[in-house]
Structure 1
């Protein structure tokens, strides 16, 4: 799990060079950054890293990507994440924009042999499955309709097709924010934070308690004056994407699944 690697680094317990015989490493469950891949290569310098993606509803993993052995050939992405790759055989993927039309960027939908046939409680299927006609926009499968092989499952993940079907994960749809009329991906801001030499890991949260959404950056690493972080971020990000609040923590908390616990971080803002 990516966050576990970052946590081990923060605790000073990342055993560099301890896994020289490890041939393959599969990383997934959340965004896998180039920074994290570099960290893991210190532990297992001879391993081949594979990223994997998939919701539980698609039998856990349904896409994968083999990271090039030479870091000089690592792809450059807006949020510094490795691609999640291409779908497995007999799994189909479709990217839909906000209007429900096929696009290079938007929500990832899947169907095929790995897609489940619907929730045990049929009421939970509402809004989760789509029909996509040959022409026109996708439409939700009507409530009470039996889920058929031609229906697409909405993953709730936003991706970008970087070419030839190679998908890059941008974040969850429910984590997108809109400030001053601009929609932004929190992952791009986190990537800009992580590029600062003093920052080991960063999480950007959207504080929606006030009338105006406020971005809060939580990071671990070397403490920095907030105004210094903001100044350096303004050099690489549009002004509306620069967080207003910065909080240094010793460790980014993890939830029971080993992922970054955004809910806990948000609760600590209160």
Structure 2
């Protein structure tokens, strides 16, 4: 199953928090696993048909391995992280005696294994920070400060707009859960850094973009623009109403005829 990044709510996302969420999705670290989650790897004992038999080299569990293990776990003593040596021995012995078990042996989570996962998670985070900085240099995203002022580099106090964060995830094939979208379009997106600020050009272009999307038959044009600009659908509708109110009303028909008659 592909990892899903939990996209924080709000129009601005701190770059450090964004990269942390990616790392935690790709390399989750459970510090108190139980049941099947307390088995983090497999090894091949001597005598089994594997080139790694007797090497004690741990291999990550694949989905098929987890399914096979899930079938036999109910027949075994309870397993969890930080069991006594006696309990670990009882579990392994009971597993080895099962006639229908996989040929590999389970490798239980240890303190060293959790530490290794934490190190791997931090390394993934660092790589995404480096990748975001490279994308800034390439012009694929623009970090901003708390006041939406563009920054030349990704550094302390730098945020990504929601649009840039989502685009980054999609470019790199990362699935995500959008908290704002799950709440529906009527939520006014806000965080500690405030509500999304629309420039004058944005406010003028939104009604035109909405009309174009409607003409093209695009579904949910209001919701689409709200997500794109990091505001609520009610904000989009208000801008459309304002644009319509500014349009000059056509003169009455009688006044038009009078004007033509005077001109003739």
Greater relative CO, 1 or 2 (CA 8 Å, sep 6+): 2
Q: TM-score range by the shorter chain?
A: under 0.3
TM-score (norm 1): 0.21
Point out the structure with the larger helix share.
2
What TM-score results when the alignment is normalised by the length of structure 2? 0.21
